[in-house]
Structure 1
């Protein structure tokens, strides 16, 4: 199986080579993140709307994941990239993806509630739901079966590699955001500080948006690598 470093290099190379084509796919995600950061104080105090904000955030994140899976799938398959096609295909499969995510959440949360290990197992088995759905156009049961099949025989490699890339991305974004906030507190007068901190949070949102394709791209690259190991391609 390809090493973590080579898989990450492959993902980054694909991302940066197609940066301009990928950016339009992040528009909704970025705009929503900016709105949340601009009105974060109001949102936190308005408890009644918090569930709606959280729900819409999940919807935006899920839809963006489909867009990126479609795009990275096309990249690794050597196809011509098209934002309109990515949006069209993602919209078509989004209702099914929502059902898949709900079923997965029930399994993972149930597994974590009963014991930690089953939840981790379910999360790892079904980590390729989005790539399988977008690239293979499967139904609900087939998507779950395909993801589990691809992971079989490589469970721990999939677990630690996806966990590591997630931790690295979260660490980088958090360090950058906290660093900006710390600098802002040191050099900004008290009156202007809230505005500067809001600006640093928006910058953090941009960083989060621009690094999110790395995680999805890594997942799609790993998906294709597992298919190679299964001698499917």
Structure 2
């Protein structure tokens, strides 16, 4: 869960800044934006180490100390970011065509991060590797990607909605802060399970590559 703390702390600090700085000041948006960007990058870096650790555990390999995994993940941070940007641009291009192509592309390239983090693929090679895993079983992959997310949303909603409703009704800064902390804790508890499910899905898809049925030879 510690891998998501940087982003959560950055969001919390940004919220606390509202008590110190005027939200209409440019400095507020600059500081808050910088904190969120830094926190997100650090959390993404730590998440790569988490992905590699989950993979090692699932495959029965010896896991390295957390410090070693984190430092090694730093070496692949920028290749992962670049590959993710390429995948994002591809999905964005799909939106310019129609919504349906964007959805298709998003499933094709859902495993780009894992292709880089676990198999050393980079840039367009990572995109091709991800698409190859999905080829021939797009619908099956789609629902396997959606199922953990739907469970996450249901559980998170059950926990967060009462606090958010109370915060809205009370108009209290203290209650609003409590609601923010609860939301952060829920994410800390549930998000790693989503990541773990996707890592396992990626590994299982690699184990069972799709083989098209060839027509009988005459």
What TM-score results when the alignment is normalised by the length of structure 1? Answer: 0.76
Would the aligned equivalents of 1:133 and 1:139 in 2 still touch at CA under 8 Å? yes
Bigger mean CA offset, 42-51 vs 105-114: 42-51
* Residues 150-229 of structure 1 mapped to structure 2, 5 A cutoff: 150-183=133-166, 193-229=172-208
User: Once the two structures are superposed, what CA deviation does each residue of 1:146-193 show, in whole Å capped at 9, x if it has no partner?
Assistant: 11111112211111221232232133223312212335677x7x7xx3
Write 1 or 2 for the structure with the bigger share of helix. 1
Find the structure with the greater CA-based Rg: 2
Task: Specify the alignment match of 2:74 in structure 1.
Answer: 91
> In 2 relative to 1, CA 60–175 (structure 1 residues): closer, same or farther, beyond 3 Å?
farther
Equivalent pairs, count: 205
Once residues 110 and 83 of structure 2 are traced to their aligned partners in structure 1, the CA distance between those partners, rounded to angstroms, is 11
| Relative contact order higher in (CA < 8 Å, ≥ 6 apart) | 1
Tell me which of 102, 107, 126 is aligned to 1:124: 107
What TM-score results when the alignment is normalised by the length of structure 2? Answer: 0.80
Structure 1: where are the runs of 5+ without partners?
Answer: 1-22
Once residues 127 and 163 of structure 1 are traced to their aligned partners in structure 2, the CA distance between those partners, rounded to angstroms, is 11
> In 2 relative to 1, CA 40–142 (structure 1 residues): closer, same or farther, beyond 3 Å?
farther
Structure 2: where are the runs of 5+ without partners?
Answer: 211-218
Once residues 213 and 59 of structure 1 are traced to their aligned partners in structure 2, the CA distance between those partners, rounded to angstroms, is 17
